[in-house]
Amino acid sequence: MRPIRRDHAAKTSYDAIVIGAGFSGLYQLHSLRDRLGLSAVVLEAADGVGGTWYWNRYPGARCDSESYTYSYSFSPELEQEWEWSERYPEQPEILRYLNHVADRFDLRRDIRFGTRVVSAAYDQAANRWLVTTQDGAVLTAKFLITAVGCLSSANVPDIPGLADFTGTWIHTGNWPHEGVDFAGKRVGLIGTGSTGIQAAPVIAAAAAQLTVFQRTANYSVPARNAPMSREEWRGIKANYAEHRRTMRSTPNGHGFTIADRSVFDVTPGERAAIYEAAWEKGGLQFRAAFRDLLVDKAANDTAAEFIKAKIREIVKDPATAAMLADIDHPYAAKRPPIDTDYFETFNRGNVTLVDVRAAPIARITAAGVRTEDAEYPLDIIVFATGFDAMTGPLLAMDIRGRDGASLREAWRGGPWSYLGLGVPGFPNLFTITGPGSPSVLCNMPVAIEQHVDWISACIAHMRATGLETVEATPEAADRWGEQVNAAAAATLLPQASSSWYLGANVPGKPRVFMPYAGGMARYRTICEEVAAEGYRGMALGR
Ligand SMILES: Cc1cc2nc3c(=O)[nH]c(=O)nc-3n(C[C@H](O)[C@H](O)[C@H](O)COP(=O)(O)OP(=O)(O)OC[C@H]3O[C@@H](n4cnc5c(N)ncnc54)[C@H](O)[C@@H]3O)c2cc1C
């Protein structure tokens, strides 16, 4: 690893400021600095690169995207030199990859670590953004690009009594670097989304006792993780271009395509065999077994019933199995988890499932968790309660556009954005994977690279043609909002009423379906058309 060079520390004026040094910020810096020749700096709250994979060090943390798809495509050399060890890489390996990228492209010298942005204000007269960091430093730039991630603002539920707890509590998205010793400990796990489902089996194997507090039962399909051989890698590397083409052609940016058949094109026997094969193969492509799983409730019911039957088959205690299978939303309408032995974990003698929908958590006490009908003594509470998704990290900063108008105010009723890339009233501000773009519904590196490439091309166009400002028009943002709503309404996704896609996990957050559900491939085409038509929907100023 190269030493961090501090020679940029005195500089305060840039062409572009990027906030965040995860997948998005690293590529955005490379793109602006090394391709366009701009002066750029990345401001990052953490002490290292990696974003999600810097913060989420909880046991069992790993990727649900297959490893060969969860990587950058912008450098064929990088593609050829990196090999993942498993079908789904673990957090430390992904963090190593992003550190490798930072070193390989010499990015660290233009990243300021330990630097949290608290506010950003657009100075109209100077046409510059003034960005203020937590330590009071002010930096300026013509362009401000947020690479703050969709899932980077940890959501710790406001349960009364947390301050009284005499044990240790931790949020999975802010996991201590030195790790947590579970040996001999009574652990409570709150949350059964993707993270809780990954963490439970690993914590159960290490702890004396694990109590899982479940409010919303969830589907999960086996990941079928496995080591990858040199042989497999030779095949993948020889065909990377083809794999990338597939990933760019699908709605979700993964390496698999969605089957052409409807659930109702086949007999019940054939359907069961198809689900069984998909279950054995494992992974997110279970949802690609039929084309209508996400749009037709009756079709979805067949997948839901298949998985619920699997849960009842795996989990030996009928009451626990019934609780786990009592799922209230269509399959994959919430982020569909994949797992390694999640349901099997409930067959262990040291694991208990508590239904906190039937008897909600009343408070946290000095000794543990008290529900409305029992008390659970605990040494450690793990909050796997997710994030204030998508808008959270943006609104955590005080961003002010023209005439001092605040983003928090503009988005009071929900995000208002054109393509999830630009906001009316906020010139020269770009939001990578912002609300209104496919983002979390997609294998994210695909969405991130598309955004970075589009933003970089827009800035290059402005420089080539002497343009000074670019700004989404209110009409374009309104029309795009209608398209985002229509795309969601055409699917079953909004039917999961407790989903973080809708903001439902954060009290008081507007219930708006935030990501664009029309598919990454269609979205890419729309963005390309917008650019080709001279940035239709954007006001360009000299
Ligand atoms: C547990 C977990 C598993 C995931 N698994 C998958 C998966 O399987 N497949 C997939 O496609 N995606 C997955 N994701 C989504 C993942 O977030 C993206 O794939 C990707 O890492 C996002 O990169 P990013 O750079 O856009 O954002 P992030 O990685 O979130 O990075 C944002 C960075 O911005 C910094 N930041 C935020 N606000 C400020 C501020 N005000 N000042 C300074 N710095 C700031 C943060 O510290 C962070 O380092 C997962 C997410 C989580 C949490």
Q: Is the pLDDT of residue 4 over 50?
A: no
Residue of 70, 129, 152, 450 with the most ligand 1 atoms within 8 Å of its CB, for mutation: 152
Alpha-carbon distance of 270 to 484, in angstroms, equals 35
- Alpha carbon separation from 206 to 18, 60, 173 (Å, rounded): 40, 12, 20
Q: Could you tell me the distance, in angstroms and rounded to a whole number, from the CA of residue 153 to the centre of ligand 1?
A: 9
**Mean pLDDT of the residues in the chain:** 96
Q: Could you tell me the distance, in angstroms and rounded to a whole number, from the CA of residue 295 to the centre of ligand 1?
A: 28
**Mean pLDDT score, 527-542:** 97
**Mean pLDDT score, 21-28:** 98
Ligand 1: atom nearest CA of 118 is 41
Residue nearest to atom 4 of ligand 1 (CA): 63
Q: φ and ψ at 301, to 5 degrees? A: -55, -35
- The pLDDT, as a whole number, for residue 301 is 98
Note the helical H segments in 326-404: 342-345, 392-395
pLDDT digits (tens, 9 = 90+) for 81-122: 999 999 999 999 999 999 999 999 999 999 999 999 999 999
Claim: this prediction has a pTM higher than 0.75? yes
Asked whether the beta carbons of 216 and 192 are under 8 A apart, the reply is yes
Structure tokens at 166: 């005499």
Ligand 1: atom nearest CA of 172 is 1
Ligand 1: atom nearest CA of 432 is 26
Ligand 1: atom nearest CA of 152 is 30
Cα dihedral 280, 281, 285, 288 sign? negative
- Alpha carbon separation from 27 to 1, 157, 454 (Å, rounded): 18, 33, 12
Residue with tokens 């501000």: 429
**Mean pLDDT score, 409-426:** 97
Ligand 1: atom nearest CA of 133 is 42
End-to-end CA distance of the chain: 43
Ligand 1: atom nearest CA of 442 is 11
Q: Could you tell me the distance, in angstroms and rounded to a whole number, from the CA of residue 149 to the centre of ligand 1?
A: 4
Task: Enumerate residues lining ligand 1, CB below 6 A.
Answer: 19-25, 43-46, 51-52, 54, 56, 61, 63-65, 70, 116-117, 147-149, 151-152, 195, 393, 396-397, 433, 443-444, 448
Closest CA to 519 of 254, 245, 154: 254
pLDDT digits (tens, 9 = 90+) for 185-225: 999 999 999 999 999 999 999 999 999 999 999 999 999 99
Asked whether the beta carbons of 227 and 88 are under 8 A apart, the reply is no
- Alpha carbon separation from 210 to 9, 235, 352, 355, 418 (Å, rounded): 47, 42, 6, 14, 45
Alpha-carbon distance of 27 to 245, in angstroms, equals 20
AA identity, residue 291: R
Alpha-carbon distance of 61 to 59, in angstroms, equals 6
Q: Is the pLDDT of residue 9 over 90?
A: no
Ligand 1: atom nearest CA of 433 is 26
Q: Could you tell me the distance, in angstroms and rounded to a whole number, from the CA of residue 441 to the centre of ligand 1?
A: 14
Residue of 68, 87, 151, 505 with the most ligand 1 atoms within 8 Å of its CB, for mutation: 151
Alpha-carbon distance of 58 to 92, in angstroms, equals 10
DSSP 3-state assignment of 209? strand
Q: Could you tell me the distance, in angstroms and rounded to a whole number, from the CA of residue 175 to the centre of ligand 1?
A: 14
Count of residues making up the chain:
542
Asked whether the beta carbons of 171 and 156 are under 8 A apart, the reply is yes
Q: What is the 3-state secondary structure (H, E, C) of 125-178?
A: CCCEEEEEECCCCEEEEEEEEECCCCCCCECCCCCCCHHHCCCEEEEHHHCCCC
Structure tokens at 71: 């990587």
Banded model confidence at residue 378, pLDDT cuts 50, 70, 90:
very high
Asked whether the beta carbons of 502 and 514 are under 8 A apart, the reply is yes
- Alpha carbon separation from 348 to 201, 316, 319, 320 (Å, rounded): 10, 10, 15, 12
Residue of 42, 43, 49, 52 with the most ligand 1 atoms within 8 Å of its CB, for mutation: 52
Alpha-carbon distance of 287 to 281, in angstroms, equals 12
Q: Could you tell me the distance, in angstroms and rounded to a whole number, from the CA of residue 372 to the centre of ligand 1?
A: 36
Q: Is the pLDDT of residue 7 over 70?
A: no
Q: Could you tell me the distance, in angstroms and rounded to a whole number, from the CA of residue 22 to the centre of ligand 1?
A: 6
Adjacency order of strands within the sheet including 368-371: 361-364, 368-371, 375-377
Q: State the greatest distance between any 2 C-alpha atoms of the chain, in Å, as a whole number.
A: 69
Ligand 1: atom nearest CA of 397 is 41
Q: Is the pLDDT of residue 10 over 80?
A: no
Q: Which DSSP state fits 109? A: G
Q: Could you tell me the distance, in angstroms and rounded to a whole number, from the CA of residue 397 to the centre of ligand 1?
A: 16
Residue nearest to atom 25 of ligand 1 (CA): 22
**Mean pLDDT score, 272-286:** 98
**Mean pLDDT score, 512-539:** 97
Q: Could you tell me the distance, in angstroms and rounded to a whole number, from the CA of residue 148 to the centre of ligand 1?
A: 7
Q: Could you tell me the distance, in angstroms and rounded to a whole number, from the CA of residue 414 to the centre of ligand 1?
A: 21
DSSP 3-state assignment of 124? coil
Q: Which percentage of the chain shows pLDDT scores above 70?
A: 98
- The pLDDT, as a whole number, for residue 498 is 85
Q: Is the pLDDT of residue 452 over 90?
A: yes
pLDDT digits (tens, 9 = 90+) for 54-65: 999 999 999 999
Structure tokens at 184: 């001999």
3-state helix, strand, coil in the chain (%, to 5): 40, 20, 45
